[in-house]
Structure 1
Amino acid sequence: MSETVSLIRSNKLSDAAEYAYASTAPADSRMIFLAGSCPLNVDGSTAGVGDYAAQAAKCIENMKTALSEAGADLTNVVSTRVLVASSRQEDLVTAWEVVRDAFGEHDVPSTLLGVTVLGYDDQLVEVEGIAAIRD
């Protein structure tokens, strides 16, 4: 677990959620605002065309790279937003399960949204995040 990010749970809220309901980072931490992580290969092509799970995994892989460049990793993430281009709940859940599993015990607060369309050709998933580190 991160020494910077504190995850907050409540016994007054549903335990059906698979993540903490809130998180905090100390005032002296450096915030990292990540662009939406897309399922793009280095050459700009879309990975996992037609496959929600494969695209979610590529988003997490790319997010890890961006975090590493900023001196952080997934345990420094304060919150996420998972965008899935589908109106079918099962597609959202498929993408969500990949993201949830990638974070493991660092179950940061997250919002899962079904959207109409995303920005790249054949893109089905995008994962946004905010992280915090202490230098």
Structure 2
Amino acid sequence: MDTFDRELISNGNPMEAVVGFSRAVRVGPFISIGGTAPVAPDGSTVGVGDVQAQTIRCIEIIKEALEQAGSGLHDVVRTRVILTNIDNWKPAIEARKLYFREIRPVDAIMAVSRFVNPEWLVELEADAVISGWGDHSAA
């Protein structure tokens, strides 16, 4: 049975060490990316009041984490779009399809009562499996 190293992917958020989470975790060909908020590098909220802009920012953060893990959006197999208002699903999906229309990962869209920061209208999660892993087991 194969065993895989566990690689923690960080984006430099100081809360990662305090709370005990990672932006993403890669185990072999599998990458999981946790709740991704629409945050700028300086910690401010991107697109306050604009679900589509916030969704785009979340996907860009996910893309960066995947690339840091040796992958990319093309390897995404599942996304989860989490909204504070389910009526905002259309602008969130309009943003999502800019990136995933051809890739077509499975998806879930759900609503929660709120996020830690009340400016956040959406968070995204993603899972990826690096394609061709069996062909590139040393990757």
Q: TM tier, shorter chain?
A: 0.7 to 0.9
3-state SS, counterpart of residue 128 of structure 2: strand
Uncovered stretches (5+) of structure 1, i.e. residues with no partner: 1-28
Find the aligned partners of 2:66 and 2:75 in 1 and give their Cα distance. 9
Offset of residue 119 of structure 1: 2.4
Deviates more, 1:47-56 or 1:32-41: 32-41
2:93 to 93, 96, 101: 96
Q: Which residue of 2 aligns with 1:107?
A: 104
Q: Which residue of 1 aligns with 2:74?
A: 75
Offset of residue 35 of structure 1: 1.5
1:118 to 115, 119, 129: 115
- Aligned residue-pair number: 106
Query: Normalized per residue, which structure has more helix?
Result: 2
Name the % identity.
36
Uncovered stretches (5+) of structure 2, i.e. residues with no partner: 1-27, 134-138
Offset of residue 55 of structure 1: 0.2
Q: Which residue of 2 aligns with 1:30?
A: 29
Root-mean-square deviation (CA, aligned residues, Å) is 1.6
Matches within 5 A, 1:43-58: 43-58=42-57
- Tell me which of the two structures has the higher relative contact order, counting C-alpha pairs closer than 8 angstroms and 6 or more residues apart: 1
Structure-1-length-normalised TM-score:
0.73
Is 1:132–2:123 an aligned residue pair?
no
1:96–1:112 contact (8 Å) kept in structure 2: no
